[in-house]
Amino acid sequence: MLVEATKMFGFTVLALDGTAGTVDDFYLDDEKWVIRYLVVNTGSELDGRRVLIAPAALDAPHWADRELPLTLTKKQVENSPNIDLDKPVSRQHQVALHDYYGWDYYWMSNPLGAPIMPLVPMELAEEQQDAAKPEHGDPHLQSVRAVVGYHIHATDGMIGHMQDLFIDEENWSIRYLLVATHDWLPGKKVLVDPQWIDRVSWAEHKVYVKQSRQQIKDSPAYDPAGPPSRDYESQLYQYYGFPGYWGGHWSHSPTEPD
């Protein structure tokens, strides 16, 4: 199921023994384009403490009730390491968090997500693991609240701004950027797969994609009344000439403007 990230803001986060808080934000990994953490506000707007929870701690969501159940107790959440989320999240803080919950270090995993097995003596492997715990902020963790609103640029000019992100709740990957084209194409919204991004300028709040304005203008129209259907996704990937993330393959080259 694909769900818009901002529509999960305010979802109730349920511990095994009661309410743990509400979803305040997400941190995405801009290398893999996947959600690494939920930011959970554990109290009121005035005195609420914010904690990070990895998707690995989630149980099956209750979409109709706007609830995200955890496999953790309230006390586990309450006693999680303190992290100042008004500052960049350091790798040192991530290590403390993952050690506390017993989560794998995702930054030391292979592309399939399985932990890397050391091919050296255990003592040396532990030394290497300790060496991989820098204290500076992780430059690849980005707040979803912060990136929503970024300007989106085609190869030949701006096309609009990022209105939201579609998350695949099966593995918490970012499947699409939802782009509102506002003044350029009033009323039209388009989807962009993160794999089609050329580069991101975090300092300038801009995302550059590999397609032209005309290609994007002629892309299959997206109906924002609901999440994208598989039929629509198939049309979208076929139009651009890319294989679908679910295993779809197309034989022709990406569409070029006339």
CB neighbours of residue 237 within 10 Å: 19
Intervals of the chain under pLDDT 70: 44-47, 109-137, 248-258
Nearest to 209 by CA among 142, 256, 156: 156
CA distance 171 to 246: 12
Q: Looking at the domain assignment, is residue 174 inside a domain?
A: yes
Q: Is residue 207 located within the same domain as residue 129?
A: no
Q: Is residue 128 located within the same domain as residue 197?
A: no
* pLDDT given at position 20: 95
Tell me the pLDDT tens digit for each residue of 162-217. 999 999 999 999 999 999 997 788 878 999 999 999 999 998 999 999 999 999 98
* pLDDT given at position 22: 96
Domain span at residue 223?
Answer: 148-240
* pLDDT given at position 36: 97
Instruction: Name the CA radius of gyration of the chain, rounded.
Output: 20
* pLDDT given at position 179: 94
How does DSSP assign 26-47, residue by residue? EEEETTTTEEEEEEEE-S-TTT
H or E element at residue 225: none
- Residue 228, both tokens: 């994208």
Q: Is residue 123 located within the same domain as residue 46?
A: yes
Q: What is the largest CA-CA distance in the chain?
A: 61
Q: Is residue 112 located within the same domain as residue 161?
A: no
Q: Is residue 152 located within the same domain as residue 75?
A: no
Q: Looking at the domain assignment, is residue 60 inside a domain?
A: yes
Q: Is residue 49 located within the same domain as residue 14?
A: yes
Q: Looking at the domain assignment, is residue 246 inside a domain?
A: no
Q: Is residue 133 located within the same domain as residue 16?
A: yes
What's the total number of domains in the chain? 2
Strand partners, 208: 153, 199
What is the CATH number for 204? 3.90.50.10
Q: Is residue 118 located within the same domain as residue 155?
A: no
Q: Is residue 119 located within the same domain as residue 15?
A: yes
